[in-house]
Structure 1
Amino acid sequence: MFDTLKKSIEEMLERHRQQPFLDACMASCALVAMADGKVSLSEQSRIDDVLEAIDRLSLFDVHEAIDLFNAYVDGIRENPVKGRKAALDTVERMADDAESGELLVRICLAVSQADGDYARSERDQIIGVCSRLGLLLEDFE
């Protein structure tokens, strides 16, 4: 019983530790997906793929992550300037973690290429993400 309790506590602590990355990931995905004003089915599918593929995100219920993504999308829809600023402020919390920042940029690129069209508006959003993280997009393209 003690081992089960200990494992449960360790999982809760790990989820707590990874929450800022989940927040930044869903914020950056929303920025890229909403770059053209709408979230496509292929972008939604790519985000699902990301949630399944990245170990740090597998700690979370997929519905929790998608709800978070949708909240950022709704914020951008309701007030594009304020919504994008809120998402970028969330992304910026990862600026001191180079590994997480680089992974976020790679995730953004994956979402931007989901529909086979790497649009200028998507690239501009990724540049904004890179700027907040202290990275250059050219290092990833």
Structure 2
Amino acid sequence: MALWDRFKDSAQTMQSQLNAKKNDLKSGGFRDASMAMCALVAAADGSIDPSERQRVASLIAGNDVLRNFPADDLQTRFNDYCQKLSADFDFGKVGVLQTIGKVSKKPTEARAVIQIGIVIGGADGDFDKAEQGIVREACFALGIAPAEFDL
């Protein structure tokens, strides 16, 4: 089986796991951390081009778990995190990782945030090294071993 096929199966499995936990993922902390993760993955290479931003925004809108929250609220939060990362990537990344780290004491939410990062990162068919690295950093912010997610 090709590497991409294995990854695609893994991403589908993660999305299924997220859907199964949907009722447990309704807190404001999870909402904020997941939008921070989406912005971080979109900016993984250090910048966010408009097509990347639009692609991630449509993935957010189509994600069943994230439908627990009003779409306009998610969009506002995603755009705010993207703006912070675009203004100064290194400084913005510190703040975004702090937002992600706020769910570290809730293991279900913390793992779900990582799974969302992986699903979003791989949705274009290429979970590249920069995206993997940024999700790995988020694992550290949450106190989760990256190896748990093969990162």
Which of the five TM-score ranges fits, normalised by the shorter chain?
Answer: 0.7 to 0.9
Structure 2: give runs of 5+ residues left out of the alignment: 1-25
Q: Percent identity, aligned pairs only?
A: 26
Tell whether the 8 Å contact from 2:57 to 2:75 is kept in structure 1 after alignment. Answer: no
Look up the SS of the partner of 1:87 in the other structure. Answer: helix
Equivalent residues of 1:42, 1:114 under 8 A apart: no
Q: What does residue range 115-126 of structure 1 map to in structure 2 within 5 Å?
A: 115-126=124-135
For this pair of structures, how many residues does the alignment match?
121
The list of structure 1 runs, each at least 4 consecutive aligned residues, that deviate by more than 4 angstroms after superposition, is: none
- Corresponding residue of 1:44: 57
Alpha-carbon distance in structure 1 between the residues aligned to 2:142 and 2:104: 4
Indicate whether 1:73 and 2:82 are aligned: yes
User: Which residue does 1:110 correspond to in 2?
Assistant: 119
What's the CA shift string for 1:32-63, capped at 9, x where partnerless?
A: 1111222514333222222xx11xx4342101
1:75 is displaced (CA, Å) by: 0.3
Superposition pairs of residues 16-31 of structure 1, within 5 angstroms:
18-31=27-40
Unaligned runs of 5+ in 1: 1-16
Name the TM-score, length of structure 2 as normaliser. 0.75
Distance of 1:44 and 1:64 partners within structure 2: 12
> Which of 83, 94, 104 is 1:85 aligned to?
94
Aligned pair partner of 2:140 in 122, 127, 131: 131
Q: Does 1:35 align with 2:48?
A: no
Report the aligned-residue RMSD. Answer: 1.5
TM-score (norm 1): 0.79
Other-structure match for 1:99 = 108
Secondary structure in structure 2 of the residue aligned to 1:112: helix
Which digits, 9 at most, give the CA deviation of each residue in 1:92-124, with x for residues without a partner? 111111100110110000010011111111111
Q: CA deviation at 1:20?
A: 1.2
CA contact (8 A) 2:33 2:102 kept: yes
Q: In the alignment, which residue of structure 2 is the partner of 1:58?
A: 67
